[in-house]
Chain A
Amino acid sequence: MSLNQRLFIIVPLISALCNIFLLLTVLSAKKNKQIYAFMELLCAFTAWCTGSLFMRLTVYPGPEFWYEVSIMGIFLTPFFVYNFMYCFTESKGGFVRGTLFASWVVVTALNLFHVFITSPRVVEEAGERRFEYGVSPAVIVPILLVVVTLWEAWRLAYKSVREDRVPLSQFTPMIAGVAVMFACTVAAVLPQMVSLPVDTFSCGINAICLYYALYKKRMIQLRGIASNGPAYLVSAVLTTLVLIAGYQPMEAFYERYFSNYQEYKVIVFAVGFSLVTMAVYSAVRRLMSNLFVKGQENQEAQLKQFSSAINKTLKLDEILELYRDFLQRNLPGRTARVFLYQPGAGGYQVADCTNSALAKGDFIAGDNPLVPWLKSYNHGVSYAEFQRTRIYRSLWEEEKRRFAEMHISFILPVVCDDELTAITTFSDESGQGRARELSFREVTFLESMAAVLSMALKNASLYAAIENKARRDPLTNLFNRGYFEECIRRDFELCRHDSLSLLMISFDDFHLYNELYGTTEGDRILRRFGEQLTALVGPRGTVARYGGKDFAVSLPFCTASVAETLARQARDWLRYEVSSAPEKTKKFLTFSAGICAYPVSAASVEELFTYANMAVYTAKSNGKNRVVLYDPEQNRQDTDSNFQEKRALADNCAATIYALTAAIDAKDHYTFNHSNNVAEYASVLAAAIPLDAEHVEIIRQAGLLHDIGKIGIPEAILSKTTRLTKEEYEVMKQHVEGSIAMIRYLPSLDYVIPSAIGHHERWDGKGYPRGIAGETIPIGARCLCLADSFDAMVSKRSYKEAMSVEQALQEIRRNLGTQFDPDLGLLFIRLVEEGRIQPHVSAGED
C-alpha cells in the first residue's frame, strides 16, 4: 500500500474518531439548541470522514454506499455550519434558515440520483486504487448554494458582533476553523495536494475549533471529555489496536509453549483480551481525568470544603477568615480586598484583605456608580470593562485615584436576593505592567465561590441583625445594659496599659418630667438625647441606655477630661433642646453625670461602675445638673466636706437609725450590739484598704442598718436555740430584702443600699440574695460580710457558744476565696492581729 493510500485511510480515520469522540463528549453536556446544532454538524463531519474512509477500505456493503454517505455529509455541512452560527449567535427570523434547509434537502436528494456528481469509478493503476468522479454542469447549483449559505453564516456573525450580542473574541476559534477548512478546500484543487486527504483533515480541525468555541461560551465543560462515552471509544480503539498488533505474536507464543492446551486457547485469549480491555479503560479514564478533570475536581473539592466550612458558622469574622484563606490558597499571586456593605456607613467598607500590609480603611460609597452596575451585571468583571461603561464618568476623581492605586484588575460582586452584599476586588499590587487576566476557569470558579459566600454572608447578616436587636434598647436603639457591660469589659482588656473612662449620666427628676409633659415627650427626649450622645461620642466609644433614665458611655483610650468635655457638651445640648421647644411653657430637664477613669481612679470594671455611680450620686446630692469626676486623691481632700455632710446626715438620721435598731433591740437584743460591732469593724477595714472617708462613712452607716430587716422576721425564728429548718432559714434570708425595703423609705440614706444588700453575698457566688461573685460584689458589702461573719463567730448566740478570736480568724482564713474576698480577708485578719480591730466578744447574733 502506498503512502497516499495509507494517508487516505489514516487521516479520515483520525478525523472520524475525533468527531465521534467529540460527539460522545457533548452527549454528556446539558443540551440546548447550540449543542444540538453542534451535534448535527459533528454528525455531518462524521458521515463525511467515515464514508470516505470506508469507501477506501471497501467495507461492506461497498464503496458506492459509503460514497453516498460521504457525499451526503459533504452536502449537509454548509447548512449545518449556517445552522450552528444561527444558534450560536441566537439570531431570529426563520425564513432564510428554512429556505436554505429546504434547498439543501432538495440538492442532497437530487445528488442521490447523481445529478451533480456521478458515482466514483474505481481505477487500479500500478497497484494503487483511485476513485474518479465525474461532475455535471449542474454542479454549479450546489456550489452557488454553498456560497450563499456561508455568506449568510458570515452575515449572522458580523451582525451579532456589530450589534454587540456576541463578542468578536467568541468567534475567533470558529474563524480559525473556517480558515483551515477554506485553506484545505482551496488546497484540494492544487495538483500537488490533490492526492492528499485535506478535506477530511479539515473536518477534524474544524470540529475541534467549534468545540473550543462552545467551551469558551461556557456551554460545555472539559470534564465531558472524561465521561464514559469518550473513554469507551478510546478504550475500544486502543484495545482493537492492541489485538490487531498482538494477536499473531501471542498466538505464536501460545502455540509454542502451551500447545497441549489448545482447547482452552479461545478462553484464555478471551479472558486475556477482557483483562487488557479493563486495564486500558482504567488507564484511559485515569489519564483523561488527570488531563481534563483533575484541576476542575480539585477546584470543586476546594469549593465543597469552603462551602461546608463557611456554612458551619454565622460569625462574620470567621466567614471572612475562611474566605481570605480560600483566596490566598487559590489565587496566591493576587491581592483581594473584601468590601462589605455597612448600612450605617452607607457603603462598602473594606473588611478584609489577603495582604495584611495593604489593608487600609478603603471605602466604596453606596452611590458609587460601580455598585448599581455590579448589582445589575451580577458577574465577575474586569475593571477595564467597568472603565468603558457610560456611568464610569460619574466617578469622583478621588475614587478613580484610589481604584488606580489599588491596581484593580478584576471585580467580583457577591449578590444575594438582589442585594449587593459584598464586593471583592482583585489587584496586582506589583504594579509592573498589566496584570494577567483571570482565566475563564478561574472566573467561573470565583463566581461559584461568590454564590456560596453570598448565602453565608446573608445568614451572617441576619444573625448579626438579630444579635444586634437583642443588644439594643428598643426605645433609643442604643446598646442595652447587658451588652454595654460586655463592651466595657472588652474595652477594659484593650486598655490594660492605657486609659478607659466611664461616663454615667442620669436625668434629674425625670419622673417629674414625665408627669409634667407626658411619657411621649419623655420618650422623645430620651431618644433625641441618645442620638445626640451617639453623635457626640462618634467612633470614640460606646453609648448605652443603662437604665430607665440613665445612660452610660465607655471611652477606651480616653482620659477623664475627654469624658468631662463630652458630658458638658451633652449638657449644653440638652439645655438647648428642652429650652428651644416651641411650646409656650419653658421645659426644664437636666442630668447629673459621674465619671470614673481607669487606671487613675479605678482598678477594675466593677470599680469603674461603683465609683462612677458614686460620682453621679455626688452630683445629685450637690444640687444636680452637674458633672462630677471621681478622683480618689482629689476625693480624699475634697470629700472632707462630703464626709462631714454624710456624717451630719447620719447624725440627722441617727434618731431614725436608733429608732429602728431599738425596735430590733426590743425584738432581738443581740442584733443591736451586733450592728454596732459590724459598723465598727467594717469601717476600720474600709479605712485600711484605703477607701476615702466618705466611702468609709457609707460603709459604717450600712453596717448599722444592714440587719434592720430582721424586724420583719418572726421572733420565734430569731430566738430559736436549735438549728433552723430549711423553711426557717429561707424566711431568715429574707431579712436582707427587708432591710433594703426599709432603707428605701429613707431616701437620704439610700446610698447605703449597695453595701447593705450584698453583705450575705459570697466571693464564690453562692451567697444571697443575688448570688453575685468576686469583684462584682460592691466593696462595702465585702467589708460588711467579713465584719458580720467575724462578729457572729466571736459572739455567744442562743444556739451556739462564742468562738475564740483565733478560731474565728482561722475560720476566715479557711474560707478565703470561697466565702470571703481573699485580699480583704487577709487585711481583716492582719487588722485584728495588729489590734486595730478590737473584737467585742460579749454579744451579737445573725
Chain B
Amino acid sequence: MTFEEKLKSCSAAEIWQEYCGFLDLSMEEYMGIQRRLLMEQIDLMSRCALGQRFFGGDPPRTLDEFRRRVPLTSFGDYADVLLTRREEMLPAKPVVWLRTTWEGGDFPAKYAPYTESMLDTYKHNMLGAVLLATSSGKGRFHVKPGSRILYSLAPMPYATGLFPDLIEPELRVRFLPSVREARKLSFGQQSRRGYKLALQQGMNMFFGMSSVLYGTTRNLEQMGHSSQESGSRLRSILGISPRMLWRLAAGRYRSRRDGKPLLPKDLFRLDGFVCIGTDSSRYKDELEAAWGVRPMELAGGTEPTCLGTETWSKNGLVFFPDACFYEFIPEQEMLRNLADPSYKPHTYLINELVAGQNYELVITVLRGGAFLRYRVGDVYRCLRLRNPQDGLELPQFEYVDRIPTVIDIAGFTRITEREIRKVIEMSCLPVADWFALKEYDDNGHSFLRLYVELRAGARQSPALSREIIREHLSVYFRYYDGDYKDLKRLLGIDPLEVTMLPTGTIARYEAASGQKLPRVGAPREAVLDLLHRPSAFTSGEGDAGCR
C-alpha cells in the first residue's frame, strides 16, 4: 500500500503511529531498537570481507564487545573498497551509490553504498519527516496528494537527490521543477527554475538548504523592492496562475500600504517548510519572519542517510532509531583527539548524554550499510534529554557544525587545512604562515577568515595589500573547489576574509605557549590570546589584528 493509499484508507492516528510513532518511544524502547538493529548489522558485516577487516574471524557478540573491539573509523578505512565500488566485499548488495565531497581526502569525492533496505528506511523516515513538517501538534498533520513541492536540494548522486525519487511512487506530488526536468539541470538552474514555477503556480512545501532558502528569500524581497520601482520584472512573469496573481497583487498592495517589503509569506501559504544544512539555526528566525512559518530542520548526510528530524515544535532534532546506531564523542575528547591523533576518544550512547554538551557524532549505518563506528565529522549539541511539552522521552539535538578541522560555509563547501595549503601554494603568494577560522558576520552568516603572515620583507610591496591577497586567494579557491564557486554563483557570497598578521606572530605564539596552533579551527581562546595580546606574541613592527 502506498503512502497515498494509506492517506485515503487509514485513519490519521494509524498513519501517525506508523510514521511518527517513534516519537512515543521510551528511552528503553529506543535503545532496544538500536541494539537489535546493531546486532543485525554485525551479523551482516560478519559475513562479508569488509566486516572481516574489522572483526577478524570473531564477530562481536554484544554491544559492549562491539564498542571495545571495533575501532573508530574514517572514510580512509573504506576508501579502497568504496572508491572502487567493490560490491562483493560489502554486507549487502547496494542498489545505489551516492557521492559527496571528500574534504581533506586523497580523492575529490567519496562514495557511500545504499542497500534496498536502507532506501526503505530512508523513505519511511522521510515520509515521517513530511508528516512532521506539516504538523501543528502530535497527530495533527496536513499532507494532501497533489501538493506542489519546491525542492531546492542537490540532485542525485547526492543524498538529498534521493528524496524525490523515493517519494514520487508513494505520494502524488508535483516537484518544481519535475524530477525528470530537474535531472537535466544543474543545482543552480534547478533552484531558479523551481522558484520561477513556484511563483507562477504556487507551492505547498519548500525543501531546501538553509543557505539557499535564505538566498531565495533575499532575492524575493529584492524582487519586491524592484517591482515597486518599475514593475517590469513582474510583467516578465508569464503564465502566472490567477491565484498567484491575486496574491501578488494583494501582497503588493499591502506592501505599499504598510511601507514594508513584499515578503514570501505574502505570496505563499506553506504547509511544510523544511531546511537542511550547516548554520540552519542561524537562518531560522529570518526565514520564519519572511515565510510566516518556522522551518523544520532535518539532519542527515551521504554516509549517515536521513538520521534526524525536528518535530512540530521545531526546537530540536530527534534521531530516527533505525537509520544508524549512534555514539557520541564529547567535545573535550574530540579536541584531545584532534591534538593527539593517537589518543582514543571515549564514546557514549544516546542514553548516556548530558544536556547542553557538544558531541561529535559516530555512526554505524544500519540495514546493510558499509560504515562501522564511522566519524562523520559533524558536531551536535544535546539540547535536552526529554521534552515534556512535546511528550518526548528522547534527547533532542541541534546541529552545531562540522568538526573544527573542517570549515563548512553555508553547507556548500568544506574547507580543510589541506585545501587551504594547496590554494596558497598555487597562488604563489609569499605566505610564511597562516591559520583559518570560520567566523560569522553581524547577520550571523558564516565566512572563512584566513589569518596570513607574509614572508619577511614581502610586506613592503604595494601589490600585496590585504584586498589584493584576498582577491588572489579567492580566485584560486574558486578554481580549486567547485563548491566554493557555487557559493558566489548561487548565493552571491564570497566568503573569504583575510587578516594580515605581523611576520612571526604565529611562531612566537607557539613558542610562548608551548603548543602548536591548529591551522584550521584553532580554539577561540588561543586566537584571542594571539590577536589581543600582541605584546606577548608580536614584535611590534606589524599591524596585529588589522584587517
Contact = CB atoms under 8 A, between A and B. Distances in A.
Interface string A359-397: 000000001010000000000000000011111011011
B37 interface: yes
Contacts of A389: 17, 21
B48 to A, nearest CB: 15
Contact of A367 (B11, B24, B36): B36
Contact of B36 (A161, A164, A168, A396): A396
A393 B17 contact: no
A272 interface: no
B10 to A, nearest CB: 8
B2 to A, nearest CB: 14
A394 B36 contact: yes
Contact of A390 (B24, B367, B368): B24
Contact of B33 (A162, A167, A391): A391
Contacts of B322: 393-394
B32 interface: yes
Contact of B18 (A164, A367, A388, A396): A388
B87 to A, nearest CB: 17
A810 to B, nearest CB: 74
A355 B141 CA distance: 44
B205 to A, nearest CB: 24
Contacts of A162: 13, 139-140
B181 interface: no
Interface in A494-518: none
Given A167-B11, A396-B40, A391 B29 contact: yes
Contacts of B36: 367, 369, 394, 396
Interface in B19-62: 21-22, 24-25, 29, 32-33, 36-37, 40
B117 interface: yes
A160 to B, nearest CB: 11
Q: Is the interface of B mostly helix, strand, loop or mixed?
A: helix
Contacts of B14: 388
B515 to A, nearest CB: 46
A162 B139 CA distance: 8
Contacts of A394: 32-33, 36-37, 321-322
A390 B318 CA distance: 15
Given A164-B13, A167-B11, A367-B36, A393 B321 contact: yes
A450 to B, nearest CB: 25
Nearest to B13: A164
Nearest to A367: B36
Contacts of A388: 14, 17-18, 21
Nearest to B32: A394
B320 to A, nearest CB: 8
A391 B322 CA distance: 10
A397 B368 contact: yes
A397 B13 contact: no
A167 B29 CA distance: 25
Interface string B358-369: 000000000110
Contact of A393 (B13, B33, B140, B368): B33
Which range contains the number of A residues in contact with the other chain? 10 to 19
A165 to B, nearest CB: 10
Contacts of A161: 11, 13
Nearest to A162: B139
Most A CB within 10 A of own CB, among B24, B36, B367: B36
Contacts of B139: 162, 164
A443 to B, nearest CB: 18
Interface string A235-264: 000000000000000000000000000000
Nearest to B320: A393
Interface in A379-436: 387-391, 393-394, 396-398
Contact of B40 (A164, A390, A397): A397
Nearest to A398: B40
B37 to A, nearest CB: 6
Contacts of A391: 29, 32-33
A390 B13 contact: no
Interface string A137-162: 00000000000000000000000011
A167 B37 CA distance: 32
B39 to A, nearest CB: 8
Contacts of A164: 13, 139
Contacts of A398: 40
A397 B37 CA distance: 9
A161 B368 CA distance: 39
A589 B485 CA distance: 78
Nearest to A390: B21
B22 A390 contact: yes
B229 to A, nearest CB: 50
Nearest to A169: B11
Interface in B339-356: none
A161 B37 CA distance: 33
A403 to B, nearest CB: 14
A398 B24 CA distance: 26
A167 B14 CA distance: 10
A396 B38 CA distance: 10
Contacts of B18: 387-388
A398 B36 CA distance: 13
Nearest to A168: B11
A435 to B, nearest CB: 13
Nearest to A399: B40
Contacts of A393: 22, 33, 37, 321-322
Interface in A161-219: 161-162, 164, 167-168
Contacts of B17: 388-390
A391 B33 CA distance: 7
Contacts of A396: 36-37, 40
A390 B25 CA distance: 7
Contacts of B25: 390
Interface in B130-174: 139-140
A347 to B, nearest CB: 13
B29 A390 contact: yes
Contacts of B11: 161, 167-168
Contacts of A369: 32-33, 36
Nearest to B18: A388
Contacts of B368: 397
Interface in B408-431: none
A234 B51 CA distance: 77
Contacts of B32: 369, 391, 394
A397 B117 contact: yes
Contacts of B367: 397
Most B CB within 10 A of own CB, among A168, A369, A393, A398: A393
A606 to B, nearest CB: 45
A391 B13 CA distance: 16
A394 B40 CA distance: 10
Interface string B310-330: 000000000001100000000
Nearest to B22: A390
A393 B140 CA distance: 22
B45 to A, nearest CB: 13
Nearest to A395: B36
Interface of B: 11, 13-14, 17-18, 21-22, 24-25, 29, 32-33, 36-37, 40, 117, 139-140, 321-322, 367-368
Interface of A: 161-162, 164, 167-168, 367, 369, 387-391, 393-394, 396-398
23 contacts: A161-B13, A162-B13, A162-B140, A164-B13, A167-B13, A168-B11, A369-B32, A369-B33, A369-B36, A388-B17, A388-B18, A389-B21, A390-B22, A390-B24, A390-B29, A391-B29, A393-B22, A393-B33, A393-B37, A393-B322, A394-B322, A396-B37, A397-B40
Given A162-B140, A397-B368, 13 more contacts: A369-B32, A387-B18, A388-B21, A390-B22, A390-B24, A391-B33, A393-B33, A394-B36, A396-B37, A397-B40, A397-B117, A397-B367, A398-B40
Task: List 9 tightest A-B contacts by C-beta distance, closest first.
Answer: A390-B21, A394-B33, A388-B18, A393-B322, A394-B36, A396-B40, A164-B13, A397-B117, A388-B17
